Amino acid sequence: MLSKTQKNFLWMIAEKTIGVVGLFFINALVAKYLGPVVIGQIAIATAIFQIVQVVGVFGSDSIFYKRISTNLIGGIQLMMPVFVLRSIIFIIFASICIMFLNMRMDLTGMTLVLSICLAYYFYTIDTYTSFNESLLNSRINAIANVVGLIIGLVARALMVRYKVPIIYFGLPLIIISAIPYFLKSYVFRKQYKRMVTIKYSVLKKRLFHLSYAGSILVIPSIISSIYPRLNVLIISFLYGNHDVGIYSVSQSIATSWSFILLSLLTSCLPSLFREKNNQKIIKLGARLHLNIILLSIPVMLVITFLVNFAILYLYGESYKESITPCILLCFSTLLSTLGMASSKIIIKFSGYRFLLWKTIFILVLSLVLSYFFSIRFGLIGAASAVIITEVFSLTVINYLFMQGFILSVHIEMFKIIYVYFRRLFGMKKSDGS
């Protein structure tokens, strides 16, 4: 019999799997129909509003999640202040971004921008996802998200089938975010409607608290959100929408399997955080790093051998420049997950200040490398800059923490590999004698 935690985990995996498989094929169909320029416009707008979403959340996700986990009624009564705060901040920053994008986009592009903006507004105000996760009730999230995703994907497929004008392709994006939001809202209000009400004076007080506490948490979140989208913004600045469309296809394929690695990472964290002995933490961390690598190798090999066929067959000739960056970014996905594993070990030792300064430094390094590599080598240079940055972040910078604690983890990992191969070849030698 599965525990509630295991069931919760399986629901999350099922949702991600359906999402990745569905999006991969339908997005390929849509990308082929719309072409790199329009896909580039969508990618730029998506990258910008993903950052706006992080700004809009304003660090309230951590505060809300913690409150819900410890005090259910208090958490529920915090939902209205969170909604108001997120709405105000999102609308302010979204308006600024829309004015900026209006100077760079045509009518079709701006229609898509407004659709993406509305879609990310629903993502921003969605407190129901965190609420359900805190109660280990991801089944509701999964069902709602899958329903929205299926309706959105079917709409996209039909629009391509019947050659609907490009200007309407923003509607499925709204559907994918709006339907899950309203479904989760309906389920929540059915159960907890009476607890939501809050006095104006209390609302004002909690808004002030959220604004103050969130202002401390939001800066690292913004920096972290900018980093993975930096290349898209730089390519847009240097080359324009067409190249952004090419690069975004590479990126989406190369990172599509990251949820598998993140699931492994999440499942291993409890034992790591419970452990108090440093030597055992080093061993657990080394095995976690090794498991991530072993899980990645077959996926990376499959992508490397099939990416040529997948892009040319599913996306078309106009996306053939995506092939090489895709292979490079696939490798960076592995490095990024290894970096996350190392960061969790640092968090275990409360190295928050270290991670903040590291994130700022890595952002600056990434900006410099991406800019100059993109100028010199184009999209391949942009992808290469990501790999160099991830390697530097994983090794050199992390080794500065606690007198080389992460270095000890990596050394232990190589020791495990060495022992395994020594035993393997030792067995073969004895068999032959």
More confident residue, 373 or 194: 373
Where a domain ends, among 214, 239, 264?
A: 239
* Residue from 314, 305, 331 nearest 387 by CA: 331
| 244 lies in some domain | no
Domain count across the chain: 2
Asked if the model's pLDDT at residue 297 lies above 90, the reply is yes
| 246 lies in some domain | no
Rounded mean pLDDT, 38-53: 93
Q: Are residues 291 and 156 in the same domain?
A: no
What was the pLDDT predicted at 212?
66
Which of 50-64, 173-187, 274-288, 367-381 is least confident? 50-64
Q: Are residues 281 and 319 in the same domain?
A: yes
Q: Are residues 269 and 223 in the same domain?
A: no
* Mean pLDDT, all residues of the chain: 86
d(CA 46, CA 100): 14
Where a domain ends, among 180, 208, 239?
A: 239
Q: Are residues 73 and 148 in the same domain?
A: yes
What was the pLDDT predicted at 222?
82
What was the pLDDT predicted at 369?
95
Instruction: Yes or no: say if 360 and 288 are a contact pair by the CB < 8 Å rule.
Output: no
Q: Which of 125-129, 202-206, 222-226, 407-411 ranks highest by mean pLDDT?
A: 407-411
- Spatial CB neighbours of 280, under 8 Å, sequence gap ≥ 6: none
| 427 lies in some domain | yes
Q: Are residues 168 and 305 in the same domain?
A: no
Alpha-carbon radius of gyration of the chain: 23
| 260 lies in some domain | yes
Q: Are residues 275 and 370 in the same domain?
A: yes
Which of 4-13, 188-197, 293-302 is least confident? 4-13
| 20 lies in some domain | yes
Rounded mean pLDDT, 255-260: 82
Domain range spanning residue 54? 1-239
pLDDT (tens digit per residue) in 140-183: 888 898 899 889 989 999 999 999 999 999 999 999 999 999 99
What was the pLDDT predicted at 374?
95
**Band of residue 427 on the pLDDT scale cut at 50, 70, 90:** low
In the chain, the amino acid numbered 18 is I
What was the pLDDT predicted at 433?
44
Q: Are residues 297 and 214 in the same domain?
A: no
More confident residue, 62 or 102: 102
| 247 lies in some domain | no
Asked if the model's pLDDT at residue 430 lies above 60, the reply is no
Where a domain ends, among 196, 212, 239?
A: 239
What was the pLDDT predicted at 428?
52
Q: Are residues 349 and 278 in the same domain?
A: yes
pLDDT (tens digit per residue) in 300-359: 999 899 899 889 888 888 999 999 999 999 999 999 999 989 988 998 888 878 888 898
User: How large a percentage of the chain has pLDDT more than 70?
Assistant: 88
d(CA 306, CA 312): 10
Q: Are residues 66 and 30 in the same domain?
A: yes
| 93 lies in some domain | yes
Rounded mean pLDDT, 375-396: 94
Q: Are residues 117 and 198 in the same domain?
A: yes
| 193 lies in some domain | yes
Q: Are residues 277 and 185 in the same domain?
A: no
Q: Are residues 128 and 191 in the same domain?
A: yes
pTM of the model: 0.82
How many angstroms from the chain centroid is the CA of residue 6?
A: 22
What was the pLDDT predicted at 387?
95
User: How large a percentage of the chain has pLDDT more than 90?
Assistant: 48
